[in-house]
Structure formats: structure tokens, C-alpha cells
A = this chain, B = another copy of it.
Amino acid sequence: MRYSVILGNLGNTCDRFLSSGYKEQPPKAEQWRQAAAIPAVAGIELVGSWDITAATVGEVRQQLADTGLKLVSIIPDLFAQRRWGSGSFTSRDPAIRRAAVGEVTAMMDVAAELGCDLINLWPGQDGFDYPLQGLFDRVQDWWMEGLQACADHRQDVRISLEYKCREPRTHCSLARAADTLLVALGTGRTTVGVTIDTGHAFMAGENLAESAALLARHGRLFHLHANDNYRGWDDDMIAGSLHLAEYVELLAWLRRLGYQGWLSMDQYPYREDGRAAVEASVRFLSGLERRLDAFGWPRIDAAIDGGDVIAGQRLLRQIIGLEA
């Protein structure tokens, strides 16, 4: 598995009560150095506006060269400016919808320029909050129009839709794996796929491996974000802090499915040191991967193929060393 980090994880984090954030913001260059210093991390993911714009391509190229990190994807800013407040690709305002396409295609160009072939598109502000507010028939049309325009802009950069069921809207559009896969397939463009954020999948009541298998079946599992939560909200905690069995199952299935992409840390360490929190996730995931490697993937596959709960539970106890 190839591990990467979203740069912003290393910066300051705020919430609605403490909008100035819980800690000091390290300088951007320091964040780059911290990311590169985490063992096993080989890639970086950047957020538009926050980490990269058309104007800062040169600086980013330099950072990539200096750190040796690979640019894994760009996440266009469709959520952190007031103009997106009521939606981007599915705003009721056609000018906003055009601006969203413009933002994404601009980032596609930037990505290509930096040798990156993936846009991770998270449309946080698209959706609705109240009953009677959603215009469901048009929203699907708008997704098609916008995504087709982006996909047709250039074929050498893929677009991966990151689903999330709620926050910042009470009901986000592209809420779950299957809804989002339907949209991706509906565009009729093979360069449009889906990102699983493990925390978003937990929050949606999904099983990680099941969602991965569904997307892979249709050839649309493009990217993965990792973190953890208590299943009720996108807590964006250290991966493995709460879930273990689901991560074992995910790693086993990614292998079965022949997943070739990256596993990118996506956290919000409000009160923790950013670098340490991200490193903890990478240590958990890469440590687990090594452990499973030593344990033997065929034994794990056999357990999955057998489907016996008692055997599966024994295997889990063996994996974590509670039983010989």
C-alpha cells in the first residue's frame, strides 16, 4: 500500500465554536517538511485555496522536488469560500455551477502540470438541510452536466468523487458509495470514479470492504482517505483508534480487488499535534499491513472464503496476538 497525507492535516484546525482554531498554524514549508518526515509516507494531497492555487504552482513544484513527495491528488476548493455556501456543482445559480466547473478544470490543469493524474472532488456544500428544500430532479442533471464538462476538459486527469452523507449540510449530495457510483456511471465517462473516506463510510453505516468491492466491481474505486470515528459523525480521528476488524477486512479486500491507488491520511487533529496524529495513523495502517503480511494473506483469504464467524474471530485474536 502506498501512503500519503493531506497537507492541511498538519496545519491548524477550527470548528464552529473556536473559529480561530485550537493551535498555532505552522508555516506551510514546515508542514511540507513534517509530511515528508513521516515514515512510509510517499505522497501528498493538496487542497485548493488552502494549499495550492494557479498562482502557487511553482512553489508547490519546488516543495515536491525538495521533499521527494509525489503529488497524489488535488482537492479543489468547493467548500471554503462563501460563494459555495449553498452548493457548487448543484447550486441553483448557474453562474456558481459554471464557477465550480471552472475551479475543477483549473485544478485539473494544475494537477497535470505537476504530474498528478487525480482530482479528488468533495462537494461538501452541495445538498440540502431542510425538508422541502431539495430540488432532486434537477440536482442529478446538474451533476451530469458539470462532471461531463470536467471529464471532457482532459482525459489524462481522473476525477474521483468523495462521498459523505452529512456535514456541512444535513443531507449532502453524493451521500453514499452507491449513490455516488450511480452518478459516476451516469456520466458515461470512465475517468470519473469514487473515493472512499473510511470515516464517511462508517458514518453512512457502510462496511468498508463491501463499499470497496462494489466500486471495484464497476472499475471506479479510484482513491481512499483514512481516519476513524465513532460511526455517528465525521470525527476525523487517528485511523485505528476505534476500528480494527474493519481495517483488517479492508486491507484484505483491497488486496483481493487489486487496488493500485493510494491510502491518504485525512484527519482533523483539533487538539493534537498534527504531525504526530498523522504519523499515528500511518503507523497503525502500515504496521497492520506488515502484521498481515507476516501472518499470511492466504489464511485471511481462506477465512473470508469460508465465511465462518467463529473462525474469523479466532483469526482476529491471532492477528492481534491474543491467541496462538
Give chain A's interface secondary structure class: loop
CA distance A231 to B209 in the complex (A): 19
CA distance A239 to B79 in the complex (A): 27
Residue of B85, B130, B179, B305 touching A241 (CB-CB under 8 A) = B130
Residue of B20, B176, B316, B321 touching A178 (CB-CB under 8 A) = B176
Residue of B at shortest CB range from A257?
A: B137
CB-CB under 8 A from A222, the residues of chain B are none
Contact A134 B17 (CB under 8 A): no
Contact B321 A321 (CB under 8 A): yes
Residue of B129, B181, B237 touching A170 (CB-CB under 8 A) = B237
CB-CB under 8 A from A253, the residues of chain B are 136
Q: A283-B322, A310-B276 are in contact. Are A129 and B316 (CB under 8 A)?
A: no
Number of contacting residues on A, CB 8 A? 105
CB-CB under 8 A from A130, the residues of chain B are 237-238, 241, 245, 309, 312-313
CA distance A314 to B248 in the complex (A): 18
Contact A280 B310 (CB under 8 A): yes
Interface presence of A204 (CB below 8 A)? yes
Interface presence of A51 (CB below 8 A)? no
Interface presence of A304 (CB below 8 A)? yes
Smallest beta-carbon distance A67→chain B, Å: 23
CA distance A210 to B127 in the complex (A): 11
Can you list 17 contacts pairing A with B, beta carbon distance less than 8 Å?
Answer: A17-B168, A18-B82, A18-B84, A18-B168, A128-B307, A131-B246, A133-B309, A166-B232, A231-B232, A232-B232, A233-B233, A272-B309, A277-B310, A283-B322, A283-B323, A284-B313, A321-B321
